[in-house]
Structures are given as C-alpha cells and as structure tokens.
Structure 1
Amino acid sequence: MKKNKIIFWIATILIFLFEGVMPALTSQTEMAKEGIRHLGYPAYFGVALVVFKVLGSIILVIPRAPKRLKEWAYAGFGFDFIFASISHYAVEGIGMNAFFPWIVFAVLAVSYVYYHKTYGAEMA
C-alpha cells in the first residue's frame, strides 16, 4: 500500500509540475505565444488551455477533491496530450514534439492507475 502511494504521488507531482506550475509561469512568454500561433491556434486558446491545466493539476494534488472532479481532470489531461501530439504531427510531422505528449500521457496513466490502486477502495 505504501509503495502504491509513493508511485502515485511521484507521478502526480510530475503532472502537477509539467501541467500546472510550468504553464502558469511560462504562458505569457513570447516563446509560449509563438508555440500556440505556430500550431494555428488563436491566442485566447492558449490562455484557456493554461487556466484548465492549472485547475486540473490542482484538483489532482488535493487529496480531498471530489473523485468525480479528479476523473474529469484525468480525462481532460488525456485529451490534451492526445490532441497536442496530433497538432504537432499535423504541423511538423513526426518528431520529438509529436512524441513527447505520449511520454507525459504515460506518466498520467501511471498516476491514474495508482490513484485507483491507492484510493479505489475508498471510492466504493
């Protein structure tokens, strides 16, 4: 049980850092704005994306957050990573930018699986 919690928290903290802290700190940089433009999205999409990433990552790290909200956060991040990969592939072709979201998706999957292993009994 303790091993499951450790794995869950390591994976979840990584998601929190990659999807909550980093976007919050870097979203208004010129590089981030150009990244959104480069993929063909309007500027307001980048702002909305950051807001939802920060909110979702906060929901994942709050232990007492409602289970249903956590499920929505996991689903939202899953869609985000899949569509980020598709967007990069469509604009740039096969490359690291198209592949990297799948690495983060794998970390998210570990968090999700160990969330249910650790807290699944409490959900019933």
Structure 2
Amino acid sequence: MKKTKITYWITTGIFSAMMLFSATMYFTSPQMAQTFEHLGFPDYFRIELGIAKIIGVLLLLAPFTGRLKEWVYAGFTINMISGSIAHAALGDPTSATLTPLVFLGILAASYVTYNKLDEEIEPTFVKQLIASTS
C-alpha cells in the first residue's frame, strides 16, 4: 500500500501542478490567448477552462472518494484528449500534440493508483464499521 500511495501522490502532484500552471497561464499570458485564438476558441473559453482546471485540481486533491472524484478524472481526460486533437487538427508541432497525451498518461497512473488505494481502504473501513455495530 505504501508504494501505491507514493505513486498516487507523485502522479497526482505532477498532474495538479501542471494544471495549475496552465490555468495561471490562461489568465496571465498573452501568448496563451493567441494560442486559443489560433485554435479557433473564443476568448471566454480560455477563462472558463482556467477556472475549471483550478476547481478540478482542488477536487482532485481533496480527501474524499466517490462519484465526484470520478467525474474530475473524466473531465481532465476529455480536456487532455481534446487539446491533443485540436493541436493535431491544425497541424501544430508534434510536441503540442503529444504533451497533453503525456499528461494523460500521468493522469491515468494517478487514476489507477487512486482506485487501488480506494479498494484497499474500503474493505478495512467496512470491517471496522461492522465490528463497531456488533
């Protein structure tokens, strides 16, 4: 369990840091605004996506399990795939197309270890709950 927990926190930390960095850039970098324009997205979408990423990171790092956490992973997955497709469709450099996929791999590692930890913790919690009610 210790290795799983370490892997979870490293992958989740790396991914979260990158999402916070990109969200910050969405608000502060004129170059990022030009990138959104180049991709054909309206300027308000850049702001919405920045806010969504910050909220997603907060929920990803929050100490709870359940359906909402699953939706956070799904939202980030859609974001990474969509970003890669958008860059590829416009013929952007390979690095712009592959970077979101690399972070999707890191997110996948976080998700797999999150589920392993949840499976390891849940039976223990259920056993404790049953023992306390008997």
Equivalent residue letter for 1:59: L
Mapped partners of 1:52, 1:44: distance in 2: 12
Query: How far has the Cα of 1:24 moved from its partner?
Result: 3.5
Query: How far has the Cα of 1:32 moved from its partner?
Result: 1.2
Q: Percent identity?
A: 34
Larger Rg: 2
What SS does the corresponding residue of 1:52 show, helix, strand or coil? helix
Alignment check: 8 A CA contact 2:26 2:33 kept: yes
Q: How many residues get paired?
A: 122
1:41-64: CA deviations, max 9, x gaps? Answer: 000111111111111111111113
Alignment check: 8 A CA contact 2:24 2:50 kept: no
Equivalent residue letter for 1:45: F
Equivalent residue letter for 2:71: W
TM-score (norm 1): 0.91
TM-score (norm 2): 0.85
Equivalent residue letter for 2:4: N
Uncovered stretches (5+) of structure 2, i.e. residues with no partner? 124-134
Mapped partners of 1:75, 1:100: distance in 2: 18
What SS does the corresponding residue of 2:41 show, helix, strand or coil? coil
1:103-118 matched pairs, under 5 angstroms: 103-118=102-117
Equivalent residue letter for 1:70: K
Query: How far has the Cα of 1:25 moved from its partner?
Result: 2.3
What SS does the corresponding residue of 2:50 show, helix, strand or coil? helix
Alignment check: 8 A CA contact 2:23 2:49 kept: no
Mapped partners of 1:23, 1:96: distance in 2: 16
